[in-house]
Amino acid sequence: MANLIVLLDDNTANRIAAGEVVERPASAVKELVENSIDAGATQVIVRFDEGGKRHIEVSDDGLGMGAEDAVLSLQRHATSKMRTADDLFAIRTLGFRGEALPSIASVSHLTLATKSADEPAGTRVIVHGGEIERVEETGGRDGTTVVVEDLFYNTPARLKFLKSTPTEFARAVDAVGHLAIAHPHVAFRVWHGQQEVLATPGNGDPIGALTAVWGRDVARKLVPVRFDSPGLAVSGFICTPDLTRPGRSHELFFVNGRPIRNRLLGHALEEACRAMTPEARYPIGALFVAISPDLVDVNVHPTKAEVKFTRDGEVHHAAYQAVKDCLAERGITPTISGEAAAPSRTPTWQRSTTPSLPTAEFRALSRAAFEAFPPLQDYRASDLSDQSDRSDQSDQSDPSDPFQTAPAKPYSEQLRGFRVLGQARDTYIVAATDEGVAFVDQHTAHERVLYEWLTVKRAEMGALAQRLTTPFHLSLGASEAALLGQRLSDFVAAGWDIETFGKDAFLVRSVPSFVSRRDPESLLRDMIDELVHQSVARRLLVQRDHVTITNACKMAVKSGDPLNLPEMEGLLQQLADTENPYVCPHGRPIVVTIPFNEIDRRFKRA
Ligand code: ADP
Ligand code: MG
């Protein structure tokens, strides 16, 4: 392999933000993992012992290094990632200073083993306290493994500064987790001793990485955000506002793949969510800023944990707008006229109670839905573009930002205040509210209700199954059968009693009580079909949930199902009882409200 690493000249080296690179195990592991990502790794395995204080090991399947580069890489200001100071404004890698390996090596026992694909043998370099002790040829596979033992063994002052093993461990795992979220194409596995503590799928899906790092409960409430402007795009995910955190642990920001701390972006996120976030709580979100490298200075902080934007205002605006647009589009808008909301910003979005038992209306509703035998229809996302255009305009014409002035009323309470006016196109429930006229998508609303039913209620009361007088057989295609086989327990949990019955065949003995009046066989086939052919967009959702979501969707009333008044009222009450009445399990909005000030404006009553 050609030598890639060069020593930076003094002028360039002097322009590099100076300071301590390695403060604790987390900073060492961060630097090592960054090197793996820069080396094009698709898999990175990290092992710690004692929170990284005793042992840190990072292995990757990246480019590796030739023998000369392996030795050079341990010298200060030796890097393959830039050449001259001018390059500082065109940095596309996570590293660029050539400082991490020598800094870590100077305060530990470090072994670097590396092999590039085009060389027959690999190289191992053994370093103690910065002194190279041995360079030897090794076998081994392509890629690089760095082992760091006894960090700070020769700097007792810094060793004393380290926190307890669990604290250092948590920071180290977080450091890897944040890089894993920023790089979903890379599969990460993290071990602490014998225990695997993190594994990301590495399939490019950011939700997969977020699920691994934040867990399913958070991940299933994430909704995508996005805002584009020339040279700058903000994308990412935020949690619906019913889930918040007591601190800023779940406010993550990334600039061109680099996890950073940034007050500006934090402010943008918190401001956009402000009216919906309870006092002393913080939103959950991961925002990815993609910006032309010449508009951001990454060389302002010794551990590269901060950046400086050339145009702060634009970045703030883009992040704020990305989040705000998302909330508005999904009907998560406390579009509140001042007097509508009691001045309580108390806890609000967090429901502590579980949904109540289904009301008679709800049962009637479910039954009605299946008596109608509506033809299966594709989802028809309500056409929001017109409406959102208008609300944009009204935002501009209204100098006071409703998000800042109006305290939020718990959304479920708002829902209970809805007065149903009727049904439009057998699709939308139209209701008068304190704030304006609301349109409720009956399908997404019912889907949300059923989804929570299937997840929450089934845990409390068991599945609501109903035995069939005559069981039916299903004979499926191989992939369908394989899939149903894998997911059988999820179906069972939803109220289906399905057992295998020979090759690719199944026997169905009970069905969820919701489907009583509908042809359960065709329903089940539709569901299986959808699970097999699920679109990529649907995969956004956590896999295990998918069966439940599909159940909820297929059993929900469809657009085109006529509903009577008690049915509509019943559905809204049920919706108010859900934990997350903002979006359907597929992430589509449930309620769109046209605020009175908008209606007034149209009637020239302003
Ligand atoms: P920097 O990342 O800022 O260049 P480092 O001290 O972290 O500085 O690494 C020095 C050099 O060693 C890198 O520029 C890269 O060429 C090489 N290197 C370090 N780690 C790896 C790795 N895991 N795989 C391949 N090359 C690596
Ligand atoms: Mg580096």
Is 372 a residue whose pLDDT tops 60? Answer: no
Q: Where in the sequence of the chain do the CATH 3.30.230.10 domains occur?
A: 221-338+346-350
CA distance 58 to 188: 10
Q: Give the pLDDT of residue 533.
A: 55
CATH class of 221-338+346-350: alpha beta
Residue 286: predicted pLDDT: 97
Name the amino acid, one letter, at 523.
Answer: L
Task: Name the token pair of 406.
Answer: 């109006």
What separation in Å is there between the alpha carbon of 64 and the centre of ligand 1?
9
Report the distance separating Cα 108 and Cα 459, nearest Å: 51
530 confidence band (pLDDT: 50, 70, 90):
low
Residue ID of nearest Cα to ligand 1 atom 12 = 73
Weakest-pLDDT range from 91-95, 323-327, 346-350: 346-350
In the chain, CATH 3.30.1540.20 sits at 357-390+411-606
**Contacting residues for 153 by C-beta, under 8 A, at least 6 apart:** 107, 108, 109, 129, 159
- Looking at the DSSP bridge assignments, the partners of residue 506 are 474, 500
Indicate if ligand 1 lies below 6 Å from the C-beta of 39: yes
Q: Mean per-residue pLDDT for 564-593?
A: 82
Q: What pLDDT does residue 18 have?
A: 57
Tell which one of 12, 32, 35 to mutate to probe ligand 1, the residue whose CB is within 8 A of the most ligand atoms.
35
Whether 59 is in the pocket of ligand 1, judged by its Cβ within 6 Å, is: no
Of 6, 38, 93, 148, the one to substitute when testing ligand 1's pocket (max ligand atoms within 8 A of C-beta) is 38
pLDDT at 112 over 80: yes
Model confidence band, residue 368 (pLDDT cutoffs 50, 70, 90): very low
pLDDT value of position 128: 95
Nearest CA to ligand 1 atom 23: 36
Q: Select the more confidently predicted residue: 93 or 265.
A: 265
Query: Does residue 96 have its Cβ closer than 6 Å to ligand 1?
Result: yes
Checking if the pLDDT of 103 tops 80, the result is yes
Burial class (CB within 10 angstroms; exposed 0-12, middle 13-18, buried 19+) of 404? exposed
pLDDT computed for residue 342 by the predictor: 29
Cβ neighbours for 225, distance < 8 A, ≥ 6 positions apart: 234, 235, 236, 237, 238, 285, 287, 322, 323, 325, 326
CATH code reported for the domain at 357-390+411-606: 3.30.1540.20
Q: Does position 544 have pLDDT exceeding 70, yes or no?
A: no
As assigned by CATH, the class of the 10-205 domain is: alpha beta
Mean pLDDT across the stretch 524-528?
A: 74
The mean pLDDT of 527-556, rounded to a whole number, is 57
60 lines ligand 1 (CB under 6 A): yes
Quote the pLDDT of residue 382: 25
Q: Which ligand is nearest to the CA of 68?
A: 1
Q: What are residue 109's DSSP bridge partners? A: 128, 149
The type of residue at 580 is N
Q: What is the mean pLDDT of the chain?
A: 78
In degrees, rounded to 5, the angle at the alpha carbon of residue 394 between the alpha carbons of residues 231 and 328 is 65
pLDDT at 115 over 90: yes
Whether residue 542 has its Cβ less than 6 Å from ligand 1: no
Q: Give me ligand 2 centre to Cα 146, in Å.
A: 12
Say which amino acid occupies 4: L
User: CATH 3.30.565.10 in the chain, residues?
Assistant: 10-205
Name the residue with the closest Cα to ligand 1, atom 21. 35
Q: Is 98 in the pocket of ligand 1 (CB under 6 A)?
A: yes
Which range among 371-380, 518-527, 543-552 shows the weakest confidence by mean pLDDT? 371-380
**12-61 pLDDT, tens per residue?**
666 666 567 788 999 999 999 999 999 999 999 999 999 999 999 999 99
58 Cβ closer than 6 Å to some ligand 1 atom? no
| Cα 206 to ligand 2 centroid, rounded to whole Å | 23
